Structure 1
């Protein structure tokens, strides 16, 4: 085995690890965001909030990006008669991402 082969394997392993970490961070972010929406705006708690957060995580698998996530949350908020600005949702999603990254990296 050559040094080049070793370096290539190392880079492939790093790439794979980085992708796995990003996947975990994104899912944790979505869960934290779903919990926040459930508890703060929908009046859910306990198992109901957890179930809602799982639904938010699953919604993000529909399309690339965050639009599917916002579509689901906005529809649920509208159904509950709540008016929450897109700006506030985006701001909190970004905060959840920082928390999620800290949590995943601390594991």
Structure 2
């Protein structure tokens, strides 16, 4: 029975590590895409930091990425930046790749 118990503990530990990494990648991605959007809106460095944090917080409103996309698209349009849903989604994908690259470099 110990072999099965050991295997179960190993699977549980791997699952926990994978979930932690997925959370960290999403949070980093949201920060990066917030910085991208802030640059589009020509915010100051202080405003950029605050905005990136607000984008990270927006992700906790509902499951999935729609809450973040809604915030980014709404804020960009309100600031007079010509953009659309596809552009925001593309930026989200690009920043996801960058976030994963950055976090893998830290590991």
TM band (smaller chain): over 0.9
SS in 1 for 2:47: helix
Deviations along 1:65-85, one digit per CA (max 9) or x if unpaired, are 111111111221122122211
SS in 1 for 2:46: helix
- Quote how far apart the aligned CAs of 1:45 are: 3.1
**In structure 2, what is the equivalent of residue 11 of structure 1?**
11
CA distance in 1, matches of 2:72, 2:27: 15
Residue ranges of structure 2 left out of the alignment (5+ in a row): none
Aligned length: 106
CA distance in 2, matches of 1:60, 1:83: 23
Residue ranges of structure 1 left out of the alignment (5+ in a row): none
Scaled by the length of structure 2, the TM-score of the pair is: 0.94
State the 4+ residue runs in structure 1 displaced beyond 2 angstroms: none
Q: Indicate the RMSD between aligned Cα atoms, in angstroms.
A: 1.1
